[in-house]
Amino acid sequence: MSLAAETNESLAQMSNTLIYSSMAVYTLAFLAHIAEWVFGSRSKVGRTAAALTADTAASDTAAPAVSVQVRKAGGTAVLDKPQVVTRSGAGVRDVPDGPGAAGGTVKGDLYGRIAVSLTTLGFLIEASGVIARAIAVQRAPWGNMYEFSTTFSTVAVGVYLAFLLAKKNVRWIGLPLVTTVLLDLGVATTVLYTESDQLVPALDSYWMWIHVSTAIFCGSVLYLGAVGTLLYLFRDSYENKIANGGKPGAFARSVLERLPSAATLDKFAYRVNAATFPLWTFTIIAGAIWAGDAWGRYWGWDAKEVWAFITWVGYAAYLHARATAGWKGRKAAYIALIAFGCFLFNYYGVNIFVTSKHSYAGV
């Protein structure tokens, strides 16, 4: 074996070690996030419910029933105009954001900061593993599903940390993110693991750097949008129940009260999805150009191409629904989740279960 081959093999082994090490650190971050939520639940987190109740009471007192005068023979009778009850639309309620996973407690906040620090360390280790893999194979580390998955989780965590550096209130996404990353890496290192190898001829192109990198980035950001959308649905149901005089269970009061308001979560998901949609459009166009160079045609209705287009249509329908009366809020959120489900099927389903020119699972 030549010296270069031995060096590449050593780098590949180092990459595997770094990926496993990042999983260990992410596990510690997961436990720290759990501790943050547990200690945060011991604080008084009913401020959101109280604010909702106060807002409802204030609206009742601030808008008294309108009196209507009806003239009758010999006098005037005063009748009360019936009160019209309407359900607030999505994002209409003036509800403050929850105190966060830490619940306003010092100990909860301490564990939250530890969790973020560990997540940052896990990100740096995992990113080093991805770079080591790229050096070992001397190409972009996206030639199979194992490499794509490790890069995907790295970028997802990187985007999350970028939001935190930008002073955005997104620490609430830390626990679901770290949980997903551990699942992603667990599947990647067991089911999807593939030894380092060179690219198939169709992938050996500079368009791989353009097309696949944007696809990974889009998927990572759309994942964050999907988490925000899912939590919005739970939080919106919680706010509706309180506004209608219901009493949520103890678990809902402990967890959902600490999340941002439904309006905030809805706005976060919308902005993330809307900002990513043009880049996903570019991803499809770049893939078509790459297909023209590799196979002599820009579009061939291959399974991967079809599902990429279906995903694009799903997010286009979501953005259209957001601007359509009667489809804002929950209905649009359902469309967004369906669109992200199409993205997941395009990655896992098409690569593993469908025979196509894009079947580069390596498993």
pLDDT digits (tens, 9 = 90+) for 167-192: 998 999 999 999 999 999 999 999 99
pTM score: 0.83
Which of left, alpha, beta for 288 (phi over 0: left; psi -120 to 50: alpha)? alpha
pLDDT-derived band at 42, boundaries 50, 70, 90: low
Contact 95, 55 (CB under 8 A): yes
The continuous run of DSSP H or E covering 70 comes out as strand 67-72
CA–CA distance, 112 with 101 (Å, rounded to integer): 8
Choice among 69-83, 277-291, 347-361 with the minimum mean pLDDT: 69-83
Mean pLDDT, all residues of the chain: 84
Residue 162's CB is within 10 A of a number of other CB atoms, namely: 11
**Residue located via tokens 């599947």:** 187
Give the model confidence (pLDDT) of 300-358 as tens digits.
888 889 999 999 999 999 999 998 877 888 999 999 999 999 999 998 888 888 776 66
> Once rounded to an integer, what is the mean pLDDT over residues 138-156?
92
φ, ψ dihedrals at 298, nearest 5°: -85, -30
Give the model confidence (pLDDT) of 196-213 as tens digits.
777 777 677 888 899 999
Question: If 0-12 CB within 10 Å is exposed, 13-18 middle and 19+ buried, where does residue 325 land?
Answer: exposed
- The pLDDT score that the predictor gives to residue 225 is 96
CA–CA distance, 55 with 50 (Å, rounded to integer): 8
CA–CA distance, 286 with 210 (Å, rounded to integer): 7
CA-nearest of 232, 127, 220, 208 to 177 is: 220
- The pLDDT score that the predictor gives to residue 82 is 39
